[in-house]
Amino acid sequence: MNFNDRRVVVTGGTGALGTAVVGALLGAGAVCHVPYMDEQKIQHFPHRDNKRVKLVGGCDVANESAVGRLFDGVDDLWASIHVAGGFAMSALAETSKVALMAMIDTNLVSCYLCCRAAVRACVEHGAGGRIVNVAARQALEPRSGAGMTAYTVSKSAVAALTEALAQEVVGQGILVNAVAPSIMDTSQNRQAMPKANYDTWPKVEDVAATILFLASPENRVTRGSVVSAFGQS
């Protein structure tokens, strides 16, 4: 897949999956614009010194003005990949409105605002483009979201956003898709579930490869899909 000199925004690019996505894009020749909030994460971000990585500090992707500034700084946007999000495990009876809205902001609002900005940028550029969102297994299998209802609702909304937007912008040459991973094999997830069978979990590099194809010029027909990325789990 050829991303030579194509500009791609990757939200959540300093996390486990985001780092794998940025690495794959760099390997394919892309220029990556990576917003971040956590200065500590940047110190451990393996791509921070790459000349084709444009770091945008202090950028809250759930803030409309911050998202506007991020995309205003990207010339000739080709693709926008929205990995940023969060997780919370809590029974509905114990989940306050504040906690619910935190999940909505972190997962849905950030994705919505970045999709909106990406569509505007791609239309202005006039060459089409690609948008890839990150949902979750619970968006495809809501019953598996028992005990994490707020998270499930927010990720299901990301899936619905993906399907509706894909139909809305296809005439402008923009293909919109999402991936829906199950629990991924990361150090954080291993620490949280030390007795799990890690061999069945999808690897972040494999999920990143799926995202890369959906965001690539080689993807000419796939749109409106929420692609499962479950591995063997």
State the average pLDDT for the chain. Answer: 96
Question: Count of domains in the chain?
Answer: 1
């598996």: which residue's tokens? 144
Q: Render pLDDT for 78-126 as a digit per residue (tens, 0 to 9).
A: 999 999 999 999 999 999 999 999 999 999 999 999 999 999 999 998 8
Q: What is d(CA 83, CA 106) in angstroms, rounded to the nearest whole number?
A: 11
Domain span holding position 213: 7-229
**Alpha helices, DSSP H only, in the chain?**
16-27, 39-43, 64-72, 97-103, 110-125, 137-140, 149-169, 187-192, 204-215
Please report whether residue 1 resides in a domain: no
AA identity, residue 204: V
> How far is 28 from 60, CA to CA, in rounded Å?
27
Q: What is the CATH number of the domain that holds 183?
A: 3.40.50.720
Per-residue pLDDT at 85:
97
Instruction: Give the model's pLDDT for residue 233.
Output: 83
> Average pLDDT in the 160-171 region?
98
How does residue 1 score in pLDDT terms, banded at 50, 70 and 90?
A: confident
Report yes or no on 2 lying in a domain. Answer: no
For residues 83 and 101, what is the distance between their CA atoms, to the nearest angstrom? 19
Read off the pLDDT band of 61 (50, 70, 90): very high
